[in-house]
A and B are shown apart, each in its own frame.
Chain A
Amino acid sequence: MKIQKRTIALCLYFGILILPIYWMLNMSLRTNADILGNFALYPADITFRNYIKIFTDPTWYTAYINAILYVSMNTVMSLAFALPAAYAFSRYKFIGDGQMFFWLLTNRMAPPAVFLLPYLQLYSTFNLMDTHIAVALAHCLFNVPLSVWILEGFMSGVPKEIDETAFIDGYSFPRFFLTIFIPLIRAGVGVTAFFCFMFSWVELLFARTLTITEAKPIVATMTRTISATGLDWGLLAAAGVLTIVPGGLVIWFVRNHLAKGFALGRV
């Protein structure tokens, strides 16, 4: 009986968790006139007009492509830079290792708003404004430290004897690292990629500041729609629903590793 009460409470909570998302989905399937005209708990006559508009209007669908481009670039970059660094922190003692690790972490905790002004100047100086690489690079500020942190946890779980054996067997470091070590921690690499994807995907401030038109992501396009007068709730809701889809897919793929990633407590 007790178990059942608990399950009911949990289902209730999940219901509350889903409700706002459901409400947006509901809005996205109705026309704006319908939304403003009458209040309904579910769409009486479903229309896909809002979605069709997004998929046929280049200012909308390119915004999704832009976001996916820089998020993928950032995930690859973060992993490529973080993997060797995490290996160093998990295996070696060297001068300034503690300080270095702490400094990396402070970047994860720095308020992005602090970096806003200089970024405009820095990225224009390097002619990077309004490019995907600029946003990918800016997101490295918090994703590289995060990746180092998560990966270090996974790597420390691999016994050092494996490295020693491989080196005695005559493996060079790059060969050992790429063909033996990385496959050993592939769950960790997966979890890290998930978090890089997630934090790059949800970020607004840098993405909006560093892009004008060419690389403008969906999150920025949406804020501009909000500030415009006479706003189309149905369209906004449809755009919002579509931003949840990639994240949802990624969660589904890593769901079995998710608990382990959190278990390391390094998010």
Chain B
Amino acid sequence: MEKWEDNKAWFLVLPAFVIVAFSGIIPLMTVVNYSLQDIFGPGQAVFVGTEWFKEMLSNHRLHDALWRQFIFSGLVLLIEIPLGIIIALAMPKRGWGVSASLVILALPLVIPWNVIGTIWIIFTRPDIGLFGVGINSLDLLEVPFDHTAKPIYAWITLLAMEVWHWTPLVALLAYAGLRAIPEAYYQAAKIDGASPWATFVYIQLPKMRGVLTIAVLLRWMDSFLIYAEPFALTGGGPGNTTTFLSIYLVKLATMQFDLGPAAAFSIIYFLIVLLFSFAFYQALLNVGRGDKA
């Protein structure tokens, strides 16, 4: 669609700009402020330049949290994307089943994030949880299952929770992508005698490219910002083995009151996210162009 050229359109954007700037720009400037000073108390601050940044960049706990974050987000994508596609392919295409499936799929998405954590505590605890009691009664594990006991158990629980929580979003996106494929494509495939696998690889997958790009990037971004669920479930433990970036940052900022280092960390974190956002945005634009061509 050809757009009208008119800079007066800025007046329409201005209210949205102001309200987001209030919550987005002012705080960010404060963070920059903190990150360059050593603050002893109200009105007592010394300019320290890039000292906090140097400190944080060589901080091995930050490095550990960052690696953990990359591994976690990577695993999340590897599991959720294929699983979401499979679910979308299996979903009914018409009838009452469509509404029922959509409602069930959307249900985990509207549960508050810390309640998700609570649900999984109750579900996996070795004394009262269905999963915890169930797996321990099988007597397969050397150490009884308890997500607070061993790092590997904490990770499995967290990943199971994350997959349970967000795979429906991937499935809903993939389903929407599938629904947008015109019936004629399937008829053509049928005439050519294409196998279901060939139909999937040559018709469904390419047509889903747009929504899948969005799904991959959304899941990557949001799992990178994860806070409330591990906070409620493991609190970052056992030890620091499930301390992801946001959990470490909140610990640093509110429990130790290390304003300077926490602020420097915030900015590094924000820049990493910004880098991904930019890639995300570019990818989206390219998807749009690809569809038109």
Contacts and interface: CB of A to CB of B under 8 A. Distances in A.
B99 to A, nearest CB: 5
Contacts, number: 295
Most chain B beta-carbon neighbours within 10 Å: one of A24, A109, A145, A222: A109
Contact of A259 (B1, B10, B175, B227): B175
A28 to B, nearest CB: 9
Q: Which secondary structure characterizes the binding site on chain A?
A: helix
Contacts of A156: 1
A77 B22 CA distance: 14
A84 B175 contact: no
B16 A244 contact: no
B276 interface: yes
Nearest to B105: A17
B1 A160 contact: yes
Contacts of B43: none
B13 to A, nearest CB: 5
A167 to B, nearest CB: 11
A13 B7 CA distance: 51
A112 B226 CA distance: 10
B176 interface: yes
B201 interface: no
Interface residues of B, number: 99
B236 interface: no
Interface string A83-101: 0110111011111010010
A21 B218 contact: no
A113 B119 contact: no
Given A116-B250, A262-B172, A23 B26 contact: no
Interface of A: 6-7, 9-10, 13-14, 16-21, 23-24, 27, 35-36, 39, 41, 77, 80-82, 84-85, 87-89, 91-95, 97, 100, 102, 104-107, 109-119, 121-122, 137-138, 140-141, 144-145, 148, 156, 159-160, 198, 201-205, 218-219, 222-223, 226, 233, 236-237, 240, 243-244, 246-248, 250-252, 255-256, 258-260, 262-263, 265-267
Given A111-B266, A205-B227, A219-B228, 6 more contacts: A17-B104, A21-B107, A140-B20, A145-B20, A226-B121, A240-B122
